[in-house]
Amino acid sequence: MASIAGSRRARRRIRPGQVVSHVIFVLIAFICLYPLVLVFAISFSDEQSIAVHGFRLIPAQFSLGAYSYMLYDPSTLIRAYFITIIVTVVGTLCSTLVIALYAYPLSRKDFRQKKFFSFFVFFTMLFSGGLVPWFVVCKSIGLSNNLWALFVPYLMNAWYVLIMRVFFKTNVPDSIIESAKIDGAGEYTIFFRIVIYLAMPGLATIALFNAVGFWNDWWLPLMLVTKPEWYNLQYLMYRVQTNITYLSTTTAGGHMGEILAHLPSRTAQMAMCVLTIGPIILAYPFFQRFFVKGITLGSLKE
């Protein structure tokens, strides 16, 4: 009995390496969380107190001025949120499907044209037609001032195609595909009923990357949207920040000059971050269990 108790105490003994690793991970977590907490604290600070006391985790003077300015017209913000959510959901689903449908044939040994189509997608990573031809093509096919303009140009991503090609090749055994063909399954049945489930970690990883990209995008509205009703959240925030910067640098006298002097600038930037970063952070836990496996297996070399 004494030997058993001694062995249990030995198992419970904390090793120095474990302490060091725990301390390192705590420091990494602190480094990651500190900027978020600081941004949240600054967004509730007074603009003048920041100029005097600098950035603090605990606001020197609590103020809701930045949020009052940002939420002056809630209907505009709500509409931008709605546009962004629709674009993120629809764009992520469509882009992930397009990438998977293109990458899967490239992973098959019996696809004779896979070298040509692999080179075709790889070539686009090295050379592009330029901004003006891209803009002309988008305008000519009707991608202007509509919902399609906010996600269709980003449906295909060459780098994600190469990642998914490797993932399909390493995680979808040929024997399963051959067995399904013997049972009479067609190509679409094999893909949507077998391959999709085997490749779920890789697809979830690509979907997470796509979702973050669509949520944070402001470039497509800048280039293809001129009507305010189609502004997404990031572009709306971009225009608000541009207006604040312009007004804060404008010289004016009298009562107008006093108003411009108290206009929130840094606090408004942080309030914009708080308003835009929340939903995409909440989406990460749903993809977390697939993320590590998907990015590790998908990055293996052939």
CATH number of the domain encompassing residue 238:
1.10.3720.10
229 assigned to some structural domain: yes
Q: Which domain holds residue 92?
A: 71-298
pTM score > 0.85 for this model? no
pLDDT confidence of residue 161:
92
Which amino acid type is present at position 213? G
pLDDT confidence of residue 221:
93
Quick: pLDDT tens for 168-219: 888 888 888 888 888 888 888 888 888 888 888 888 889 888 988 999 899 9
Q: Sign of the CA dihedral 135, 136, 141, 143?
A: positive
Quick: pLDDT tens for 129-156: 788 899 999 999 989 899 999 999 999 9
The three-class DSSP label of residue 113 is coil
pLDDT confidence of residue 152:
93
Task: Count how many domains the chain has.
Answer: 1
pLDDT confidence of residue 302:
45
50 assigned to some structural domain: no
222 assigned to some structural domain: yes
203 assigned to some structural domain: yes
Q: Which of 163, 155, 165 is nearest to 213 (CA)?
A: 155
List of the chain residues with pLDDT < 70: 1-14, 247-264, 278-280, 282-302
Q: Which of 255, 237, 256 is nearest to 247 (CA)?
A: 256
Which letter, b or e, does each residue of 18-42 get, where b requires 16 or more Cβ atoms within 10 Å of its Cβ? eeeeeeeeeeeeeeeeeeeeebebb
The three-class DSSP label of residue 72 is coil
pLDDT confidence of residue 293:
54
14 assigned to some structural domain: no
30 assigned to some structural domain: no
10 assigned to some structural domain: no
Distances (CA, A) of 127 to 113, 139, 302: 21, 21, 24
CA–CA gap between residue 100 and residue 103 (Å, rounded): 5
Which amino acid type is present at position 140? S
Which amino acid type is present at position 16? P
40 assigned to some structural domain: no
pLDDT confidence of residue 169:
87
Average pLDDT, the chain: 80
